[in-house]
Chain A
Amino acid sequence: MRRVVSVWFPAFPTDRLRQPESPREDAGPRIVVAGRTVMAVDAAAAGLGLRPGMKLAQAQVLVPGLSVHDADPAGDAAALSRLAEWCLRYAPLTAADPPDGLWIDVTGSAHLRGGEVRLLRDLVSRLNDLGWTAHAAAADTPAVAHAVARFGGGGSVPAGADAMADFPIEALRLPAGVLAGLRLMGFERVGPLAAAPRSPLVRRFGTIVALRLDQAAGRVPEPIVPAVPRTLIQARLTFVEPLLTAEAFSTVIVRLTGTVCGDLEQAGLGARRLDLLFERVDGSVQAIRIGTVRPVRDVRHLGRMLDERLDQVDPGPGVEAMRLIVARAEQAGFTQIASPLTQDAPPGLASLVDRLTNRLGETRIYRIAPVESDVPERSERRVSPLSGTGGDWPADWPRPVRLLNPPQPIEAMALLPDRPPAAFTWRRVRHRVRHADGPERIAGEWWKRDREWTSVRDYFRVEDEDGRRFWLFRRGNGSDADTGDMRWFLHGVF
């Protein structure tokens, strides 16, 4: 299933004035004009009542001291294509959508960012940090994503949902003349327009209305022509006959990776991210992307990782060209891989980590490193699988092998202030405590949160009559109500 993200910059020309490459000294509200008409206003100007489409004279009368800039369509287009290249960090297929948008085809790459919703959030917040006001939406077709980004406030549209019906007809990307004509005919929303008979519409407006409706429904493909920076190492092969089978693709991958790895070696680089684009006969482009944890230029390793992703490719009527692009490269030194004098060095874990990262996602493969905190939940953190963990936990304090998150409430009876419970009930099963050890008092970390200034947990290790061992704690020190509400929890199993 194809998933496309559309990004909309509502104030692209004025946002560009704030970018570092075109710093302007002037303060105050800014507008961009084309001829004598206001084309874009920034947030300050919009707050003062200025709107795109006003006459410049009217705007200057309304807001004295307005800073006016001439429109620069060529500069805008260049900035937009630079942004499209920047978005390659999210997916291999990105393109500018002039005058004020971007396309990103996130099919099969959203999980690397923890899902579509998190990808969109990350994208918008990074763009905001760079000084761009942006709205982003993800949907099955470019048309729906485009409409939701501009008219629906952005967000992820579930697959197969009919999101367009309630949008105004402006959401269909129609020329102004056609829109006016449709309004004259009484069409306000997309839903009734989609349900109306096609032939009168085609006779009156040409095929554009039908085409836009079919693109929104996914009945007509709308390819995204990818933006590929020319400076990257890449290799492309075109075929006399369209290719269809996975075996054929594997053969091509071997040749492409061979070429690319040769170029990488000459440049002293290793690939961190590779995009393989399949240019189909029908003009659409499919892509797979792989990432590595270390710079790699090993033909076999890269080829195998690309091969594993081939099941995501839909060759459709056939693939006429394939292009392998090194989207991100880093310096990689030369390593000696064999020597007759020494034993084989143990192979590193990098290849295992690479393959699993591409399969499971970046956050799902990790090492656990100790953190200097006595609060159990905070005493570990995940680090990259190839980094060291450094240090160890203090060995004298017994800890369970399974930690229940969150701690499960139990009913327990114990003598205050510091006796272990005589029995406790967990999930309606009563456990009589035969032996116990404790309390181990763990105080809250007041330097992290004010609420933990006084809070205390008293931990007990207990063994029930079957010999099972549990790690229980009581919120509070048993005498002072400020330290906790004296409720009991099961936090772990030994």
Chain B
Amino acid sequence: MFTSLAIPDKPGSARSAIPEPPPATRSRSIALLRERIVQIERMHAKGSAERSFPLGIGAIDRALPTGGIRLGALHEAVSAGPDTEHAAAATLFVAGILARTGGPIFWVLRQADLFAPGLACAGLTPDRIVFAEAGKDVLAVMEEGFRHAGLTAVVAEHTGRLSLVASRRLQLAAEQSGILAILIRRSPCFDDPALHEPTAAVTRWRIAALPSPPALAHAPDTPGLGRARWRLDLTRCRGGEPGSWVVEACDATGRLGLVSGVSDRSAQAA
């Protein structure tokens, strides 16, 4: 299986190379293998797998196999630590991504604790969102959203455990529709282990609040609040490597800013 997959065009040389492959051949085999895996994965998707939406930060986009948030795929956003209950940072992160897309968004809530002016502060205007309060049927209502072309994204807030079967179902529905699907995972428990279980989602983002630097770098004692700061962990990524970045939270147009690791200076100053 390995040899036929790795070097389909040169079977003879592959066999001879197995005992001691030169570094160049090895990296080429790995590259070929990766390509093959991606092809197999794409057989299930119908033409939508290629399209993606860049986050706008080179370092993060390079870490994602499609160069950005893939459309027609399921993504998860989780808040870290005590924020798992309200998932405020995760919601802001999602709102920031959506603010930079266009078109209508379908947002499925379990209960109505979302504050639309807060979303508007991240650039997501209310005229783009249709809300549905689905109670316990969040996932079923989310799936319903995929059946309707014309939506840009479907967002759902799911509390508690998400089974592999349920997430696979959503992922397939998202693939077929080509709609961006984001699941905000919440839990009443502090850092619920259920949120770390594997699912069929393409990526999982974990957003943790970090202490922000003083509002004015040259006068740290001045009262005031600067831009919030997050640690953005890509804890799962199908076809890519996990990563971790320190970013500045969404601004009024939903853009993140990468923090240079050198000093306390903010991104604009750097």
Q: Which residues of A are at the interface with B, using a C-beta cutoff of 8 A?
A: 346-349, 351-353, 355-356, 359-360, 364-370, 376, 379-380, 385, 388-390, 392-393, 395, 398-405, 420, 429, 434-437, 461, 463, 465-469, 492-494
User: Within 8 Å of chain A (Cβ to Cβ): is B23?
Assistant: no
A348 proximity list for chain B (CB < 8 A): 150
Partner of A355, one of B81, B91, B144, B211: B144
Which residue of the partner chain B has the closest CB to A346?
Answer: B150
Output the least CB separation between A146 and chain B (Å). 33
A437 proximity list for chain B (CB < 8 A): 223-225
Interface size class on chain B is 35 or more
Q: Are A388 and B127 interface neighbours, CB within 8 A?
A: yes
A385, B121: Cα distance in complex, Å: 21
Q: Are A492 and B118 interface neighbours, CB within 8 A?
A: yes
A401, B107: Cα distance in complex, Å: 14
Output the least CB separation between B101 and chain A (Å). 14
Given contacts A400-B88, A435-B214, 4 further A-B contacts (CB under 8 A): A349-B104, A359-B137, A380-B126, A399-B115
A429, B82: Cα distance in complex, Å: 10
> Given A346-B150, A351-B148, are A399 and B118 also a contact pair (CB < 8 Å)?
yes
* B 228-270 contacts with A by CB, 8 A: 228-229, 252
User: Within 8 Å of chain A (Cβ to Cβ): is B33?
Assistant: no
Which residue of the partner chain B has the closest CB to A355?
Answer: B144
Which residue of the partner chain B has the closest CB to A403?
Answer: B115
Which residue of the partner chain B has the closest CB to A308?
Answer: B144
Which residue of the partner chain B has the closest CB to A368?
Answer: B116
> Given A352-B145, A494-B88, A494-B92, are A469 and B228 also a contact pair (CB < 8 Å)?
yes
A199, B92: Cα distance in complex, Å: 73
Q: Are B215 and A435 interface neighbours, CB within 8 A?
A: yes
A365 proximity list for chain B (CB < 8 A): 130-133
A376 proximity list for chain B (CB < 8 A): 115, 117
Q: Are A356 and B144 interface neighbours, CB within 8 A?
A: yes
Q: In the complex, which of the residues B83, B87, B88, B122 has the most CB atoms of chain A within 10 Å of its own CB atom?
A: B88
Q: Are B211 and A360 interface neighbours, CB within 8 A?
A: no
Q: Could you list 23 A-B pairs, sorted by A, with CB under 8 Å? A: A347-B149, A348-B150, A352-B106, A352-B144, A352-B148, A360-B133, A360-B135, A360-B137, A364-B133, A370-B116, A380-B126, A388-B127, A392-B120, A393-B116, A401-B91, A429-B82, A437-B223, A463-B228, A467-B210, A469-B209, A492-B118, A494-B89, A494-B118
Q: Are B113 and A393 interface neighbours, CB within 8 A?
A: no
A173, B122: Cα distance in complex, Å: 65
Q: Are B116 and A380 interface neighbours, CB within 8 A?
A: yes
User: Within 8 Å of chain A (Cβ to Cβ): is B119?
Assistant: yes
A404, B118: Cα distance in complex, Å: 13
> Given A380-B117, A392-B125, A493-B88, are A347 and B150 also a contact pair (CB < 8 Å)?
yes
User: Within 8 Å of chain A (Cβ to Cβ): is B202?
Assistant: no
A465 proximity list for chain B (CB < 8 A): 211
Residues 199-224 of chain B: 1 if any A CB is under 8 Å from the residue's CB, otherwise 0?
00000000011111011000000011
